[in-house]
Amino acid sequence: RSFTSQTDGESRLARVLREKFPQASAIKVVDISGGCGAMYEIHIESEEFREKRTVQQHQMVNQALSEEIKHMHGLRIFTSAPK
């Protein structure tokens, strides 16, 4: 998978998420607003989510991105623990 096509917003969010979820085995950030940075879809697979309900996992992501979320229109979050 190539990172060269990532927008600045995508790479910024991915960097923040990597800092906040150091155990993550996969982090994918996609700008679904056509590149304007208003809406993102985030996929994170991390050991930190094990034993947590989906709502708790999403709260962890929202907390990690609390500053960035202020400038967004919307956010889709998909979380999981490694199989």
pLDDT bucket at 1, cuts 50 / 70 / 90: very low
Cα end-to-end span (Å), the chain: 21
User: Can you give the pTM of this predicted structure?
Assistant: 0.88
Rg (C-alpha) for the chain, rounded Å, is 12
pLDDT in tens, 4-49: 567 899 999 999 999 999 999 999 999 999 878 899 999 999 999 9
| Residue with tokens 């790479």, as numbered in its chain | 11
| Amino acid letter, residue 65 | L
Q: For residue 30, what are the β-bridge partners?
A: 41
| Max intra-chain CA distance, the chain | 35
**CATH H-level, domain 8-80: superfamily:** BolA-like (3.30.300.90)
Sign of the torsion angle spanned by Cα atoms 12, 7, 29, 36 = positive
